[in-house]
Amino acid sequence: MTTRFTANDPWTWIFFLSGLGNLANGFWMLADPAHWYATLPAGVPDFGPLNEHFVRDIGATFTMLGLGLVWATFRPGARVPVLVLVTLFNALHALVHVWDTGRGLVGPEHWSIDFPAVYLPTVVLVILTATLVRRTGASA
């Protein structure tokens, strides 16, 4: 079953606002990687020295995810595959953080530093993806 686009559908706003958030982060990373690296409240410098090229590479990924989410805002039939891919990226990203924190690359304070921007969004995305798959009857 495919949902219709409507402004009063909460999924429309979830996709649109999530897309804007990913686009904002991606554009920031692409435009000013040094500023993103130094001022993002996530202790990014703890993971190693600034590599502007690498920050821009990841910024390209966030921009692509944001464009996908905004596109799926207006194409409800694309929502499940787009959300599955966004969730997969976030889950893999979270696992990298678990690995790096667990092996001592960064201090144990990163469990709490990373919670609001890495772990919590991943849990929310997993729940949203499962909910949307059940709601639409799609197979992920």
**Token reading at 69:** 């989410």
Kindly report, residue by residue over 10-44, the tens digit of the pLDDT: 999 999 999 999 999 999 999 999 999 999 999 99
What letter represents residue 130's amino acid? Answer: A
For the chain, what is the largest distance between any 2 Cα atoms, rounded to a whole number of angstroms? 48
The model's pTM is 0.91
Interval 53-62: pLDDT, tens: 999 999 999 9
Q: Is the pLDDT of residue 129 over 80?
A: yes
Q: Is 2 left (phi over 0), alpha (psi -120 to 50) or beta?
A: beta
Cβ(90)–Cβ(119) below 8 Å: no
Domain positions in the chain are 10-136
Contact of 71 with 12, CB cutoff 8 Å: no
